[in-house]
Amino acid sequence: MTKLRLGVIGAGSWTVSSHLPNLARHRDELDFVIVNRRNPDLLAKIQGDFGFTKASTDWRDVIAERPDIVVVGSPPGYHWEQSKAALEAGAHVMCEKPFTIDPAHAWDLEETARRTGRSLILSYGWNYRPMVIQAHRMMHEDGGIGEIEHVALHMDSVTRELLSETGAYPESAPEFIPQPDTWSRPESSGGGYGQAQLTHLLGVSLWLTDLRGQDVFAFMSSPLGAKVELHDAVSIRYTNGAIGTMSGASSHLGGASNRHAVEVRIVGSRGMFHLDLRDNTLWRYRSPDDDVRVPLEPDAGLYDCTGPIEGLIAAGAGRRFDNNSPAELGARTVEILDAAYRSASSGSAERVKGLDVASA
């Protein structure tokens, strides 16, 4: 069987520590054709470690090789141009989060994927974990909890050092220090904790609820002299009339064994729902006779990004798969984050860009 031709654009710290090892488990299906990174010395090491035939400091050389599948792991400011080029060259694409910085670019990529008939998968790894897949079923089967009225979201994770440029994050590849323009330089990262982490929280919550943001008000703070925000406090009105909050915090190294807090609490017209990935809570209440608390293993809510890679390979091979992190979902996360950053700057509530509220 002909192997799928793999190209990688932007082989940064997370790509090296997560995506490439996950891809290497499928060597019987993959031909590691070409890898791109700007630093030539680190690029040479990645090429040797993972057995790529070619390596280039120019991402366009990856597109020129016409790979079947492409991983885009570059800083967020490059995602639109690189993902679009890969899709239009015929590749299926897995794009790192945050999807894009500009909502118009995100929706353009959604249209490009539909037009080209290629799969575009975002690296929202939690959406492929069995616990979150079960949560999705509970929110959608038999009417879920009815019309959603209120959503409370919280996330905290060990990013103080990363976002203040005083260190890395616990899971980073030790030889490949995360680059500031990926995480902590607003001109290329788009922001701080919101872009680095709240995109995950929104990726989970918007997948569970199918909601779309309408109006956003945000406070943000930047301790430690950081160039980007470390903490976020956000209020959201959704297009269906629901309201909610979203908080994000850069927590301390070693706390909770460095485990991410991701919590979603929802009140609907028929009941309540609670998902907590740190404390392994999955609960839905609809009546005293319909009160479901799911028993879970201790590691049920742990993060990994295996699912998006598995989906990318399945797409390239023409196998059926469930895309739990499609471009449309990514675009809904981008437009809320964009409005939040505009609100923090203006001091006022901001409307989601390009939204026709009357028809939403």
Statement to judge: residues 38 and 164 lie in one domain: no
Q: What is the pLDDT of residue 188?
A: 82
pLDDT at residue 153 tops 50: yes
pLDDT at residue 10 tops 70: yes
Statement to judge: residues 205 and 350 lie in one domain: yes
Statement to judge: residues 319 and 241 lie in one domain: no
Distance, in Å, from the CA atom of 156 to the CA atom of 2, rounded to the nearest integer, reads 44
Q: What is the pLDDT of residue 360?
A: 46
Statement to judge: residues 293 and 316 lie in one domain: no
Statement to judge: residues 76 and 148 lie in one domain: no
Choice among 67-76, 107-116, 231-240, 351-360 with the minimum mean pLDDT:
351-360
Distance, in Å, from the CA atom of 342 to the CA atom of 226, rounded to the nearest integer, reads 18
Phi, psi of 185 (to 5 degrees): -120, 105
Residues in Cβ contact with 317 at an 8 Å cutoff, skipping those fewer than 6 apart: 4, 29
Statement to judge: residues 15 and 152 lie in one domain: no
* Alpha-carbon torsion, ordered 194, 274, 139, 251, to 10 deg: 20
* Alpha-carbon torsion, ordered 197, 199, 200, 206, to 10 deg: 150
pLDDT at residue 173 tops 70: no
Tell me what percent of the residues of the chain surpass a pLDDT of 90: 90
Stretch 177-196: mean pLDDT: 84
Choice among 34-43, 158-167, 178-187, 288-297 with the minimum mean pLDDT:
178-187
Statement to judge: residues 187 and 241 lie in one domain: yes
* Tens digits of residue pLDDT in 242-259: 999 999 999 999 999 999
pLDDT band at 174 (very low <50, low <70, confident <90, very high): low
Domain of 87 in residue numbering reads as 4-124+308-324
Statement to judge: residues 354 and 261 lie in one domain: yes
Helices 103-116 and 79-88, interaxial angle, to 10°? 10
* Tens digits of residue pLDDT in 255-265: 999 999 999 99
- Does residue 359 or residue 309 have the better pLDDT? 309
Angle, CA of 327, 328 and 329, to the nearest 5°: 90
CB 13 within 8 A of CB 37: no
pLDDT at residue 179 tops 80: no
Stretch 302-314: mean pLDDT: 97
Statement to judge: residues 35 and 94 lie in one domain: yes
Q: What is the pLDDT of residue 181?
A: 73
Distance, in Å, from the CA atom of 57 to the CA atom of 10, rounded to the nearest integer, reads 9
Stretch 142-161: mean pLDDT: 96
Choice among 170-174, 228-232, 332-336 with the minimum mean pLDDT:
170-174
Amino acid found at 65: E
180 token code pair: 């500031």
Tell me what percent of the residues of the chain surpass a pLDDT of 70: 97
What count of other Cβ atoms lies within 10 Å of the Cβ of residue 297?
Answer: 10
Statement to judge: residues 81 and 221 lie in one domain: no
Statement to judge: residues 120 and 131 lie in one domain: no
pLDDT at residue 16 tops 60: yes
CATH number at residue 39: 3.40.50.720
What count of other Cβ atoms lies within 10 Å of the Cβ of residue 255?
Answer: 12
CATH number at residue 154: 3.30.360.10
31 token code pair: 């031909």
Amino acid found at 127: N
297 token code pair: 């293993």
CB 230 within 8 A of CB 254: no
Task: Name beta bridge partners: 357.
Answer: none
Distances (CA, A) of 305 to 19, 66, 104, 171, 278: 7, 25, 26, 12, 17
Q: What is the pLDDT of residue 354?
A: 85
Distance, in Å, from the CA atom of 301 to the CA atom of 260, rounded to the nearest integer, reads 9
Q: What is the pLDDT of residue 62?
A: 98
Statement to judge: residues 264 and 180 lie in one domain: yes
Q: What is the pLDDT of residue 359?
A: 44
| Total domains in the fold of the chain | 2
pLDDT, averaged across the chain? 95
Stretch 49-78: mean pLDDT: 97
CB 50 within 8 A of CB 217: no
